[in-house]
């Protein structure tokens, strides 16, 4: 095994994937949201750096080629599991998350079956955009959790009428309820829209990979 900087960054990203879930086991919210968001964003940034450095320094290795897609999938799958688990189980969130998880499991199983042949099936640029959309959507949805928690903390002890008066402008917004609500809604709809885009790209790239693999799985 060749341990260079790109490979070390890939391994750190792989280790960070379960760390996103661990944050919610050892920290209370909103600290867990902040730590998970920071860890996920830093890990996502290293996804670009390790590939760029490996190509620029001509340090592409079999270890990096094997671990890089595993780290990407681990980050996406674990982060989606956490987001869905701490959400209201909205079908608008569960459906694209399910599609993404199904595709990753299906393609991983297909690659395992194909063995060395899987390396001959080229990754398209659309697949890279798919991964980028997934990570951007997840980061924004983690941000939604931060706004949601701070909004709940600010509104603690207020009756519904008082909250309605503040949000409608009839009362002074001394605790910033309005901008926290706007931030929460913006992250929710922005993250959800990106997640549906990512789910669409996930389905397209999954079908494309299956089409390329089909000649290798046909009988005879």
Residues in CB range of 113: below 8 A, 6 or more apart: 217
Q: Are 174 and 144 in contact (CB under 8 A)?
A: no
Q: Which residues of the chain have pLDDT under 70?
A: 1-2, 116, 118-123, 219-220
- pLDDT of 202: 92
- pLDDT of 63: 76
Residues in CB range of 147: below 8 A, 6 or more apart: 180, 181, 183, 184, 187
In total, the chain counts a number of residues equal to 220
* 60 C-beta neighbours (distance < 10 Å), count: 17
- pLDDT of 95: 94
Q: Buried b / exposed e across 161-177, counting CB within 10 Å, b at 16+?
A: eebeebeeeeeeeeeeb
Number of domains in the chain: 1
* 9 C-beta neighbours (distance < 10 Å), count: 23
Residue 106: give the domain boundaries.
5-217
Condensed to tens digits (0 to 9), the pLDDT of residues 114-146 reads 776 766 666 678 888 898 899 999 999 999 989
Q: 76, 73, 87: which is closest to 33 by C-alpha? A: 87
Q: What is the pTM of this model?
A: 0.85
Say how far apart CA 147 and CA 188 lie, in whole Å: 10
Mean confidence (pLDDT) of the chain: 86
- pLDDT of 118: 63
- pLDDT of 60: 74
- pLDDT of 136: 93
CA distances from 160 to 113, 163, 167 (A): 56, 5, 11
> Tell me, what CATH number does 104's domain have?
1.20.120
- pLDDT of 220: 57
């Amino acid at each position: 095994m060749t341990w260079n900087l790109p490979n070390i960054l890939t391994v750190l990203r792989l280790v960070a994937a379960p760390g996103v879930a661990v944050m919610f086991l050892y920290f209370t919210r909103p600290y867990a949201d902040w730590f998970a968001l920071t860890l996920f964003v830093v890990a996502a940034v290293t996804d670009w750096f390790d590939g760029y450095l490996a190509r620029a320094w001509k340090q592409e290795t079999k270890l990096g080629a094997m671990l890089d897609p595993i780290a990407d999938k681990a980050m996406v799958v674990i982060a989606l599991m956490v987001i869905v688990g701490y959400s209201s189980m909205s079908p608008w969130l569960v459906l694209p998350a399910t599609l993404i998880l199904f595709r990753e499991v299906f393609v991983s199983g297909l690659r395992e079956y194909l063995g060395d042949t899987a390396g001959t099936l080229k990754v398209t640029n659309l697949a890279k955009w798919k991964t980028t959309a997934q990570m951007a959507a997840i980061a924004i949805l983690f941000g939604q959790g931060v706004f949601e928690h701070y909004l709940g903390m600010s509104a603690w002890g207020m009756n519904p009428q008082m909250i309605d008066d503040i949000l409608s402008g009839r009362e002074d917004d001394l605790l910033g309820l309005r901008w926290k609500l706007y931030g929460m809604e913006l992250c929710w709809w922005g993250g959800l829209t990106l997640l549906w885009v990512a789910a669409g790209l996930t389905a397209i790239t999954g079908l494309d990979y299956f089409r390329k693999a089909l000649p290798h799985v046909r009988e005879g």
